[in-house]
């Protein structure tokens, strides 16, 4: 469990907002450009959300523990996680060479979701102080 309870709702909202943005952008891309690119935008957003969820569970499980043995195990699992993410991306790039930007655009939507949560949090602070 995270120690910062005030941060937990935002951390839980980021993957949902990312998938929602990916769905909206994917539909828009499918209508305006082509359906395959729209699906890849959505797939990129879903991969970003899954990566965020797995990173959160990784941090919750391993990095809050103390012993050095857990740290070595955490580094090994984190390395395997990065390898799996790279293999997924290489596979998608291999099959969809001409549409890599659509996947990257969908994956980048997590940055928009994080920015939206930061603005939401800062707006809450400003209301609290007013």
pLDDT of the residue at 2 = 45
- What is the per-residue pLDDT for 1? 44
pLDDT on residue 129? 57
State how far the Cα of 77 lies from the Cα of 114, in Å rounded to an integer.
Answer: 25
What average pLDDT does this structure show over 77-106?
A: 85
HSE, CB side, 13 Å, CA atoms: give it for residue 114. Answer: 9
As to burial, measured by CB atoms within 10 angstroms (0-12 exposed, 13-18 middle, 19+ buried), residue 119 is exposed
- Considering the domain boundaries, does residue 96 fall inside one? yes
* Residues of the domain holding 90: 15-129
Q: Are 99 and 41 in contact (CB under 8 A)?
A: no
Residue 8 lies in a domain: no
In this prediction, residue 67 has a pLDDT band, given cuts at 50, 70 and 90, of low
Q: Is the pTM of this model over 0.95?
A: no
Q: Give a yes or no: residue 9 inside a domain.
A: no
- Which tens digits make up the pLDDT trace of 51-65? 899 888 877 777 666
Instruction: Count the neighbouring beta carbons within 10 Å of the beta carbon of residue 46.
Output: 18
As for how many domains the chain has, the answer is 1
Q: Is 80 exposed, middle or buried (0-12, 13-18, 19+ CB in 10 A)?
A: exposed
């Amino acid at each position: 469990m995270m120690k910062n309870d005030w941060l937990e709702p935002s951390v839980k909202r980021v993957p949902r907002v990312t998938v929602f943005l990916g769905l909206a952008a994917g539909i828009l891309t499918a209508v305006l450009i082509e359906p395959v690119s729209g699906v890849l935008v959505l797939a990129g957003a879903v991969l970003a959300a899954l990566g965020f969820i797995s990173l959160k569970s990784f941090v919750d499980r391993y990095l809050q523990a103390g012993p050095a043995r857990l740290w070595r195990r955490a580094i090994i699992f984190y390395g395997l996680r990065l390898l799996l993410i790279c293999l997924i991306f290489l596979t998608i790039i291999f099959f969809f060479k001409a549409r890599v930007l659509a996947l990257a655009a969908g994956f980048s939507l997590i940055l928009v979701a994080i920015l939206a949560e930061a603005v939401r949090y800062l707006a809450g602070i400003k209301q609290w102080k007013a």
